Structure 1
Amino acid sequence: MSFPTSRIGLNLTHATATWAAPFATYYLFLQNRIVFHRLSNKKYIGDTTDPSKGTTDPLYVSTRAQLSFIENVPFAMLLALLVELNGAERKYINYALGTLLALRISHVELGLMAKDNLGKGRILGYYGTQVIMASLAGYTAYLVSNY
C-alpha cells in the first residue's frame, strides 16, 4: 500500500497516527461530559462538588475520568511513537493501542461511572494500562538494545 509522503518525504508513524483520531474522539467525549455537568449544575469553574454526594458527584467523577485519561494516554502514545520510529512491527503497535483504547474506555465507562465508582472496569483499565505501557517501554528497550 502506498502512503502519501510528508513534506520532508518521510512517513514513519502510520500505526501510531492511525490511533490519534479514536483517542482524540474519546477525549473530546470526556471533555464534553464535564461541560454538560458544569452547565447542568451551574458550576462553571473549579472542582467544587456537592459535599452530600462525596466522590459520586457527577462533575467530580467526570473530571477525574478526564484527568486519568490525560495522565496516561499521552505517555502511552509517546511510547508507541518511539517503538514505531525504532522499527517495531506495526501490527503490535495497533494491538497495543487498540487494547489501550478499550482499557481506557473500560476504566471510565465500566469503572468510574459504575455504582460507587467501583466497577470492575476500573481495576481492569488501571492495571491493563500499566501492562501496555510497560510492554511498549520494554519493546522500545529491546529494539534499541544494540545501540
Structure 2
Amino acid sequence: MSVPVGITVPKLLPITGTFAPAFGAYFVLLGLRVSLARQSTHTLLGDRTAPEKAASDPKPKPLSTDQLLIATRAHANFVENVPLALLVAALVELNGGDRRILTGSLATLLFLRIAHVELGLRAKNALGLGRPVGTLGTWGFIAGMSSYAAWLVKSYWGF
C-alpha cells in the first residue's frame, strides 16, 4: 500500500525501532562468527568440532574450548531470548509505557546480551561473569517488561 504525498504516517514504535537495528547488527555478528567457525573447522553440520587428540594426551580438549560450540550457543541463546524481549518491549511501547523506562531498559538489555557473550561465553572456559549477569538480567528484563505490559492493560480486564 502506498502513502500519498503529504500525509504524515506516525511512528508507532520509535523506541523499540531505535534499538532493533543494534540488536539486528549484533545478531548478524553472532551468525558471522558461527559461519567463520564452521569454515575454519570444516564442520558443515552440528555444533561441535571433532575432538582433537595430541599424541601425548589421550583425552580430547574440553568442550568449553570448542569455538564452534561457543559460537553456535551464543547465537542460539540470542535467538532464544531477544525476539520475546523485543516483542514485550513493543507491547509496552504500544500501550503507553514510559519512554524513559523503556529506553533505559532496552539499553540495559543490549548491554546484558553483549556481556553474556563477550564477557561470558567467550571468556576463559566460557565461564566469565558476563554469562550469569547476562542470563539473569535478560530473564529479569523479560519478567519485568511482561509485568509492566500487563499492568498497562489492567483496566481492560476490569482491575
Distance 2:127 2:48 in 1: 22
Give the one of 65, 71, 83 matched to 2:92.
Answer: 83
Whether 2:142 is the aligned partner of 1:136: answer no
Whether 2:134 is the aligned partner of 1:125: answer yes
Distance 2:105 2:10 in 1: 23
Distance 1:62 1:48 in 2: 10
Letter matched to residue 64 of structure 2: T
Tell me the C-alpha RMSD between the 2 structures: 1.5
Map 1:45-124 → 2, pairs under 5 A:
45-51=45-51, 52-53=60-61, 54-124=63-133
Distance 1:121 1:48 in 2: 23
Q: How many residues align?
A: 141
Q: TM-score, normalised by structure 1?
A: 0.90
Q: What is the identity percentage for the equivalent residue pairs of Structure 1 and Structure 2?
A: 45
Letter matched to residue 29 of structure 2: F
Distance 1:8 1:135 in 2: 34
- Structure 2 contact 13–93 (Cα < 8 Å) conserved: yes
Q: SS of the counterpart of 2:38?
A: helix
Shift of 1:24: 0.5
Whether 2:9 is the aligned partner of 1:9: answer yes
Shift of 1:50: 2.9
